[in-house]
Homo-oligomer: A and B are copies of this chain.
Amino acid sequence: MDASEARRHVEQLGRSARRAAAVLAATTGLQRNAALRAAAGAIRGRRADLKAANEKDLARRDEFGLTQAMVDRLTLTDKRLDSMAAALEEMAAQVDPVGKATAAYDRPNGLRIEKRRVPIGVVAIIFESRPNVTSDAAGLCLKSGNACILRGGKEAIHSNLAIAAAVREGIGAADLPAAAVAVIDRPDREIVPALCRAAGLVDLVVPRGGRGLITAVTEAATLPVIKHYDGICHVYVHADADLAMAESIALNAKCQYPGVCNAMETLLVDAAVADRFLPAVADKLRAAGVELRGDDRSRALVPDMAEATEDDWRAEYLDLILAVRVVDGLGEAIEHVNTYGSGHTDAIVTARIGAADRFVTEVDSASVMVNASTRFSDGGEYGLGAEIGISTDKLHARGPMGADDLTTYKWIVTGRGHVRE
């Protein structure tokens, strides 16, 4: 497939998605929720088909050189299928993001102004590995009245197509257009740039995955992109921290689930408490299996700690590894976070109002935590319901991105023959 074939392929999918989006924009929440429930039913009902499709992908694991961790993520177990279906049912039960007025007022001349949430239109989502993204993303787009075009990894193509077919069955059963969910079945590389430049057919591109994928999308795109980059999350233990609290937060932020984007990757310890705090927490982290890499001042306090390099400050380990640095006060901590962090989630542990205020104001991240573990940075924990991901961009959606963030708004202006003088 060359670039012009890819453009034609995307154009065909895009036109069909655009028509479906126009229909969805005029549906009620009840209809969309019925489709979500029917989709959940179809996933449960097609369990055997979905597992058979998944087997086809798993059979090619060696061809694609999948690691055991990748195989685990790819495998559709009964439990995973149930939780995919349950997620769709939970979306159906959530408050409708469409139609909400975020402002509504009369102007002095009697003109009525309303700012009303409406679907974005057609959302393209480009992702890697986990096939459950297919049902989650399709479900969230449907909930918010959008059509979607999904492009998953080639190693999960049979699973993704089978899941999408089940979701489409549900959509059709609720008398909505099945074309609202499209999956790109061609593995060709040329598809992604074509998708990111399909002005008039696609309204938003959401890349979820590694740095390589996101950079490729950003470089190619002329359409709006919301990036879901790394989480290089910090916990800073301030001079006035409750050290028992700091220890518990540090252990939780690193060890509770190290493979996710809101796990701590760097621990910053104020010089004023480093000698009291670091040796003890280092023992406990090591007892939990964490490898520590520190700067000179940390290494002077903790025996046998490896030396951290510049690369460690920029690393998203997603593993039981932790970079550690002793800093001279709040200013240096903020400077470190803003220099090396990824703007995802950063926490301070402190008993001082002034320190918390300054950290919250000056750290330029999507989520800033005070006396809480970075692991709370999550749509479910914030009460937003399912999330399409965690945006590290600042425009439109920042941090956990739920169904509300898959809407835009319209200004609806109502007069009684008003003209401007």
* A417 adjacent to B242 (CB under 8 Å): yes
* B414 adjacent to A370 (CB under 8 Å): yes
Question: Is A16 part of the binding interface, using a Cβ–Cβ cutoff of 8 Å?
Answer: no
* A107 adjacent to B383 (CB under 8 Å): yes
Chain B residues whose CB sits within 8 angstroms of the CB of A408 once the complex forms: 394-395, 398
Chain B residues whose CB sits within 8 angstroms of the CB of A204 once the complex forms: 394-395
- Of A281-289, A310-318, A358-366, which stretch is located at the interface? A358-366
Chain B residues whose CB sits within 8 angstroms of the CB of A370 once the complex forms: 412-415
Contact of A372 among B111, B364, B395 (CB under 8 A): B111
Write the nearest CB–CB distance from A238 to chain B, whole angstroms.
14
Question: Is A393 part of the binding interface, using a Cβ–Cβ cutoff of 8 Å?
Answer: yes
* A369 adjacent to B256 (CB under 8 Å): no
Question: Is A219 part of the binding interface, using a Cβ–Cβ cutoff of 8 Å?
Answer: yes
Look across to chain B and name the residue whose beta carbon is closest to the beta carbon of A248.
B419
Question: Is A377 part of the binding interface, using a Cβ–Cβ cutoff of 8 Å?
Answer: yes
* A371 adjacent to B224 (CB under 8 Å): no
* B362 adjacent to A105 (CB under 8 Å): no
* B383 adjacent to A113 (CB under 8 Å): yes
Instruction: State in angstroms the CA–CA spacing of A411 and B398 once bound together.
Output: 8
Question: Is A120 part of the binding interface, using a Cβ–Cβ cutoff of 8 Å?
Answer: yes
Question: Is A293 part of the binding interface, using a Cβ–Cβ cutoff of 8 Å?
Answer: no
Query: Interface 1/0s, chain A 321-365, versus B by CB < 8 A?
Result: 000000000000000001000000000000000001010111011
Copies assembled: 2
Chain B residues whose CB sits within 8 angstroms of the CB of A369 once the complex forms: 413-415
Residues of A in contact, count (CB < 8 Å): 70
Instruction: Indicate whether A419 sits within 8 Å of B375 (C-beta atoms), given known contacts A398-B408, A410-B367, A411-B399.
Output: yes
* B399 adjacent to A396 (CB under 8 Å): no
Write the nearest CB–CB distance from A278 to chain B, whole angstroms.
19
Question: Is A277 part of the binding interface, using a Cβ–Cβ cutoff of 8 Å?
Answer: no
Write the nearest CB–CB distance from A354 to chain B, whole angstroms.
12
Chain B residues whose CB sits within 8 angstroms of the CB of A376 once the complex forms: 111, 413, 415, 418, 420
Give the residues from 256 to 304 in chain A that come closer than 8 angstroms, CB to CB, to chain B: 256-257
Question: Is A218 part of the binding interface, using a Cβ–Cβ cutoff of 8 Å?
Answer: yes
Look across to chain B and name the residue whose beta carbon is closest to the beta carbon of A362.
B26
* B412 adjacent to A368 (CB under 8 Å): yes
Q: Which of A381, A382, A419, A421 has the most CB of B within 10 A?
A: A419
* A382 adjacent to B368 (CB under 8 Å): no
Q: List 27 A-B contacts (CB under 8 A).
A: A22-B364, A25-B362, A25-B364, A26-B362, A105-B383, A107-B382, A111-B372, A113-B383, A120-B394, A218-B222, A248-B417, A248-B419, A249-B418, A249-B419, A356-B414, A365-B410, A367-B412, A367-B413, A370-B412, A371-B416, A372-B413, A372-B419, A376-B420, A377-B413, A381-B420, A395-B395, A400-B411
What residues make up the interface of A, taking CB atoms closer than 8 Å to B?
22, 25-26, 105, 107, 111, 113, 120-121, 203-204, 218-219, 221-222, 224-226, 242, 245, 248-249, 251-253, 256-257, 338, 356, 358, 360-362, 364-373, 375-377, 381-383, 393-396, 398-400, 408-421
